[in-house]
């Protein structure tokens, strides 16, 4: 197999290089990469940064350092960080009600729902069970108004039920009501531009040419027991934005689903959370607020994803699945198709994996898990 792997990988991390190379083998558990990148940082400093393959389906454009990859739900880690920054600034608490900043949300019995419950997928709004126009997701005001009026699909606080798309609108509207800006604008102004991070929620047209083509999964995910929460989240024709084309999807600022980034920038940003809360000398989050953000808020069988999950305030905690290495302190988020970003404050390790050939694992893609396992074995 002829493969041009570029980037940085010091000799002690040879196992990572081998795992990255193996992921391009069509016989590998992930079915072979089209293009991919894996970046690892220790104490905020990038130590491994590997990329290979193609950004396009025609195999004409190399997957390079400037290639942007759609993150899908890995975007939720960024949304969680942005909300945590409001908590850090004293503008919000996880224990206050959503209705205290967004009064309309109190409809249909949701008056006591807390910010922490929304951030940990306990508010019962995993999706719209009854038919809506799939284009509603491109209309922020219409979507947030419908969510505010909606009755929960299960008793609030009784269980988590993963919100693949709606999370971005509830968390994003909480943020907007407190901060006054969209999450995408705040990300750009407060973090991405000052720190040179190639991370976007709502991608301007000027950056579209850098985006990797996606190859969709060849098999459907396995959801387990089908209930109303699963149907609303994933199994209707309107469960995801539709009808507007790729360009409109990239432009839309949906903080749960349509972030774009490089693995290098994600690993650096998560590196702040793995090493005391600063990046390049700039405070991203205090250690105290980071502990609040990653603290367990609910754990057990998720009603939507067929996994036992421990949720922080928007972050997936590493227990009990250990998708992000061997330590219980690690946390992060994974995205549909295989991407992920994580931080481990116990070891100071952070990392990110992105790719454009999507797998069908809902979380814990074997390509990412194998790379992270090799990285820890190399430390």
Cβ contact 349:341 at 8 Å: no
Cα distance between residue 250 and residue 173, in whole Å: 19
CB 309 within 8 A of CB 299: yes
pLDDT at 126 over 60: yes
- Which residues on neighbouring strands pair with residue 300, listed in sequence order? 309
Q: pLDDT tens digit string along 127-143?
A: 999 999 999 999 999 99
Structure confidence by residue, pLDDT tens digits, 172-213: 999 999 999 999 999 999 999 999 999 999 999 999 999 999
Q: pLDDT at residue 160 above 70?
A: yes
| pLDDT per position as a tens digit, 274-301 | 999 999 999 999 999 999 999 999 999 9
The pLDDT value recorded for residue 243 is 82
In the predicted structure, residue 267 carries a pLDDT above the cut 80: yes
Give percent of the chain above pLDDT 70: 100
Please compute, for residue 47, the number of CA atoms within 13 A of its CA located in the half-sphere on the CB side.
Answer: 20
Angle between helices 14-22 and 366-378 (to 10 degrees): 170
CA–CA dist 267, 250 (Å, integer): 22
Side-chain half-sphere of 282: how many Cα atoms within 13 Å?
Answer: 13
Residue 1's CB is within 10 A of a number of other CB atoms, namely: 8
Partners of residue 42 on adjacent β-strands: 45, 349
What pLDDT, on the 0 to 100 scale, is given for residue 93? 98
Q: How far apart are CA 305 and CA 231, in angstroms?
A: 11
Tens digits of per-residue pLDDT, 330-363?
999 999 999 999 999 999 999 999 999 999 888 9
Pairing of strands 349-355, 35-42: antiparallel
Instruction: Evaluate if residue 81 carries a pLDDT over 60.
Output: yes
Structure tokens given for 369: 């898990």
Predicted confidence (pLDDT) per residue in 220-244, tens digit: 888 888 999 999 999 999 999 988 8
Alpha-carbon gap, residue 363 to 121, rounded angstroms = 16
Fold of 66-326: Beta-lactamase (3.40.710)
Q: Is the pLDDT of residue 147 over 50?
A: yes
Q: Say how far apart CA 348 and CA 271 lie, in whole Å.
A: 7
Q: Give the per-residue pLDDT at 242.
A: 86
Output the pTM of the full model.
0.97
Q: d(Cα 53, Cα 40) in Å, to the nearest integer?
A: 19
Spell out where 60-213 has E strands: 69-72, 199-201
Q: What is the pLDDT of residues 98-112, one digit of tens each?
A: 999 999 999 999 999
Q: Give the pLDDT mean for 249-268.
A: 97
Q: Confidence band (pLDDT; 50, 70, 90) for 1?
A: very low
Please check whether residue 56 is in contact with residue 212, taking contact to mean a CB–CB distance below 8 angstroms: yes
Please report the pLDDT score of residue 28 as a whole number. Answer: 87
Exposure string for 162-179, b = 16+ CB within 10 A, e = fewer: bbbbbbbbbbbbbbbbbb
* DSSP symbol at 241: -
**Distance (Å, whole) CA 85 – CA 102:** 18
Concatenating the DSSP letter of every residue in 114-130 gives BHHHHHTT-SS-SS-SS
- Check whether 73 has a pLDDT greater than 90: yes
Report the chain's mean pLDDT, rounded to a whole number. 96
Judge residue 60's burial from the number of C-beta atoms within 10 Å of its C-beta, 0-12 exposed, 13-18 middle, 19 or more buried: exposed
Per-residue pLDDT, 225:
85
- Predicted pLDDT at 46: 98
d(C-alpha 252, C-alpha 248), whole Å:
6
The one-character DSSP state at 357 is: B
State the number of CA atoms in the 13 A half-sphere of 197 facing the CB.
28
pLDDT at 113: 98
Q: What pLDDT does 222 receive?
A: 84
């Amino acid at each position: 197999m002829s493969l041009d792997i570029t980037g940085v990988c010091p000799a002690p991390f040879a196992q990572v290089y081998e795992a990255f190379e193996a992921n391009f083998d069509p016989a590998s558990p992930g079915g072979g990469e089209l293009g991919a990148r894996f970046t690892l940082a220790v104490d905020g400093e990038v130590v491994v940064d590997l990329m290979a393959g193609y950004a396009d389906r025609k195999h004409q454009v190399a997957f390079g350092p400037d290639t942007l990859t759609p993150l899908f739900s890995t975007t939720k880690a960024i949304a969680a960080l942005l909300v945590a920054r409001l908590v850090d600034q004293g503008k919000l608490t996880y224990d206050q009600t959503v209705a205290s900043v967004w009064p309309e949300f109190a409809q249909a019995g949701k008056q006591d729902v807390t910010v922490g419950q929304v951030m940990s997928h306990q508010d019962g709004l995993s999706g719209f069970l009854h038919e809506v126009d799939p284009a509603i997701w491109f209309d922020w005001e219409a979507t947030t108004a419908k969510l505010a009026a909606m009755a929960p699909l299960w008793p609030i606080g009784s269980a988590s039920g993963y919100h693949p798309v709606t999370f971005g609108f509830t968390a994003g509207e909480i943020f907007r009501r407190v901060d006054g800006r969209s999450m995408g604008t705040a990300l750009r102004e407060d973090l991405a531009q000052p720190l040179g991070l190639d991370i976007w929620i709502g991608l301007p047209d000027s950056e579209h040419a850098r985006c990797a083509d996606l190859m969709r999964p060849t098999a459907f995910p396995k959801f387990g027991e089908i209930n109303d929460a699963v149907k609303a989240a994933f199994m209707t024709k309107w469960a995801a934005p539709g009808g507007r084309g790729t360009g409109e999807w990239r432009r839309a600022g949906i903080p749960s689903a349509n972030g774009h980034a490089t693995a290098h920038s994600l690993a650096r940003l998560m590196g702040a959370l793995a090493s005391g809360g600063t990046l390049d000398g700039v405070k991203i989050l205090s250690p105290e607020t980071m502990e609040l953000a990653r603290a367990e808020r609910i754990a057990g069988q998720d009603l939507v994803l067929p996994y036992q999950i421990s949720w922080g305030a928007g972050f997936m905690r590493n227990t009990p699945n250990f998708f992000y290495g061997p330590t219980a302190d690690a946390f992060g988020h994974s995205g549909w198709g295989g991407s992920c970003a994580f931080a481990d404050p116990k070891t100071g390790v952070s990392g990110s994996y992105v790719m454009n050939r999507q797998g069908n694992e809902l979380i814990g893609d074997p390509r990412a898990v194998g790379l992270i396992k090799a990285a820890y074995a190399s430390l």
